[in-house]
Chains A and B, each alone.
Chain A
């Protein structure tokens, strides 16, 4: 998102100028100011502390080496976010070739809504008895939700994270995952549908639950 030079945060401007001048302290400020949220992004994608540490380190070193490519037409945090997402996704691709770590993964197709020949649902959908804000206020529920997201197959989970949590566009998500926009949309929709079903069942969100 363009950020006119006049509205740039003074601290961010100082870091950018310092980085361009080769000031060591500017790099340290860049790291300290951004490592918290970037580490959280890497951990969400990789689900593993050591891998997240490696991805974050790789991302900061890549930012250092390639700082000349930062043009200042986006927030520095946004530019770094893209780099760390890329680093984490590269690690995920490499990890795919390794054996599974024993995690419980659901079959998304088992959780999609079912319909009869006439196009009507096999079970009528009901109104949820508790809204999201009330549910999210409970630490136990937040943990349950995170665990259910982690049960999604990786190709659905990564799309959901990039679109609904990192708030990347369909186009950006497709570029990062090397998927066409239609495939991103279908995976996102199915991931949401599967989670809707899981949440409804596991969090007892209907009167009959």
Chain B
């Protein structure tokens, strides 16, 4: 299956439109498969009002799908917490304040690398 398989459909530009078409034209309810497929669009508020309401109606009556979404959210959180705690992580540098926020550096930056960078810069200056 190609990466674009679920992203674009004729006449549509994204996941939200994809699920909108499926719900409006084919049936009244969505399935657990569609919950899994369009979960990202739901979490990123990319679903239109009707599709979002259908999504939430399904969740209200399907505990396994709620567990799936909870585990998906915990996965994101676990990745963030575990990777940000790596040695060398410092104050946030990413655009969202992301990347290592809150964790103090676990080891000093490599002095040899710093000296190599400073020497290379002097070399550039000398032409």
**Residues of chain A contacted by B81 (CB below 8 angstroms):** 132-133, 136, 142
- B40, B78, B105: which has the most chain A beta carbons within 10 Å? B78
Q: Does A141 contact B (CB under 8 A)?
A: yes
B75 touching A195, Cβ below 8 Å: yes
Q: Does A51 contact B (CB under 8 A)?
A: no
**Residues of chain B contacted by A31 (CB below 8 angstroms):** 114, 117-118
Interface size class on chain A is 35 or more
**Residues of chain B contacted by A182 (CB below 8 angstroms):** 3-4, 7-8, 14-15
Report how far A67 CA is from B68 CA in the complex, Å. 47
B64 touching A121, Cβ below 8 Å: yes
Interface size class on chain B is 35 or more
Q: Does B80 contact A (CB under 8 A)?
A: yes
**Residues of chain A contacted by B15 (CB below 8 angstroms):** 182, 185
Report how far A127 CA is from B95 CA in the complex, Å. 33
A168 touching B75, Cβ below 8 Å: no
B85 touching A136, Cβ below 8 Å: yes
B90 touching A56, Cβ below 8 Å: no
B7 touching A40, Cβ below 8 Å: no
Q: Which of A39, A43, A61, A192 contacts B75 (CB 8 A)?
A: A192
Query: What's the nearest-Cβ distance from chain B to residue A198, in Å?
Result: 9
A-B contact pairs, 9 of them (CB 8 A): A28-B114, A36-B108, A37-B89, A128-B67, A128-B71, A146-B82, A165-B79, A189-B40, A195-B79
List 6 tightest A-B contacts by C-beta distance, closest first: A167-B98, A119-B31, A182-B7, A167-B96, A136-B81, A37-B90
Enumerate chain A interface residues (CB-CB to B < 8 A). Answer: 1, 27-28, 31-32, 34-41, 43-44, 53, 56-57, 60-61, 64-65, 74, 77-78, 80-82, 109, 113, 115, 118-121, 124-128, 131-133, 135-136, 141-142, 145-146, 149, 160-161, 164-169, 172, 180-183, 185-189, 192-193, 195-196, 199-200, 205
